[in-house]
Structure 1
């Protein structure tokens, strides 16, 4: 009898909750799989949405996983600065069958040395930072390069999880999961990418982000050097 697939999601303070909960919801329908939300303790972890999520396991309790998934959010730089967490990400990722991320979670994978020479996706606003860690940035919603599957920003986590479900369980299974969630997006505006949103909307989003995290890029460059990149 085979063991269930072990799927480990890194949960961290100030994570973008939909980066995490979108793929968690989809991959929960893999069948014969165990999903864990992993952090340093079992205390509630605050998200960017104003509510907290409970981890199901600590880093020490998850020494291996078949699938590693790392979400993004404004807490990414704090994760990269945390040696214990990064050691865990690197150790799990080096042995996992699938190494995956959503949004700026790919920067964590890169900082852990898991994207050297790989094509990778990221949120459009931080995609330019991927080369810091030896990755080739790709402006696609889901990027698959060997056993690395990286999604673009936030909602792309649902698409990434469906693509991975199709790889692992077959397209019919993935289609049934999509139908069960009635995932049939019809957004009210055609502004889901910087190319379609237009320069004024892009500039407004960038201004709001800079106000929230004014030193994000500079801090990430310093962290990259600390980890032997740049």
Structure 2
């Protein structure tokens, strides 16, 4: 079972590795990290990155198309190379999995029209404007499309998808293997419960990260192709 994880400049690390830490343990799983070109792809904090060892032209099809989010997702919404890649793989994928505002990229590719999905709380209006019905769930399935809310919700959604693919016993075993039994120190039940001023801080930080990314490239990640 091939799992193709899309990477792009400015992706959020946990968006990608949270679900990977779950789905990568499925029996027979083969995970590949794919980007527009083979290189080290910088994350949104500009202090880490992941190696994309395949480019779009090298992936003909996949069983699970996995699209994370991050501040760098916004430019991908108008990157026709990325959108065409998503449309092509989604056409024959068994599952398409979107995390956080990676769901926005799926929507921009035109594959969520009429679908019921969830996404990061700040991307809800954008995804809805692209034809999807957006609900404030932690994760949501509509046909072969599984979407999640922001960042850490990718772990929840991946465990849900693991159960659909391999059964509850294996999904529970993976959950134990990664010891995922969250008990955070703060009592907010969801993003909607957090105070407005905290929402404002996050929105400002996301905007500043995207602006910095668009204006400069970190030379530490401008590596030759692999």
Q: Same fold (TM over 0.5)?
A: yes
Among 55, 74, 79, the residue aligned to 1:77? 74
Q: 1:55-134 to 2 correspondence within 5 Å?
A: 55-134=52-131
Q: Deviations over 1:53-111 (max 9, x none)?
A: 10131111111011111000111122122211211111101111111100000111111
- Following the alignment from structure 2 to structure 1, what is the Cα–Cα distance between the partners of residues 118 and 32? 24
Q: Which runs of 5+ in 1 are unaligned?
A: 215-230
Among 16, 21, 26, the residue aligned to 2:17? 21
CA positional deviation for 1:192: 6.1
- Alignment check: 8 A CA contact 1:94 1:114 kept: no
- For the residue of structure 2 that corresponds to 1:44, the secondary structure is strand
Among 131, 135, 138, the residue aligned to 2:132? 135
Bigger RCO (CA 8 Å, 6+ sep): 2
TM-score by length of 2: 0.88
- Alignment check: 8 A CA contact 2:21 2:178 kept: no
CA positional deviation for 1:132: 2.0
Q: Find the counterpart in structure 1 of residue 201 from structure 2.
A: 204
- Alignment check: 8 A CA contact 2:72 2:210 kept: no
Change (3 A) 1:14 1:213: closer
Q: Which runs of 5+ in 2 are unaligned?
A: 212-226
- Alignment check: 8 A CA contact 1:71 1:104 kept: yes
TM-score by length of 1: 0.87
- Following the alignment from structure 1 to structure 2, what is the Cα–Cα distance between the partners of residues 96 and 59? 15
Change (3 A) 1:208 1:85: closer
- Following the alignment from structure 2 to structure 1, what is the Cα–Cα distance between the partners of residues 98 and 144? 12
CA positional deviation for 1:34: 1.1
- Alignment check: 8 A CA contact 1:190 1:196 kept: no
- Alignment check: 8 A CA contact 2:11 2:72 kept: yes
Between 1:71-80 and 1:190-199, the stretch displaced more is: 190-199
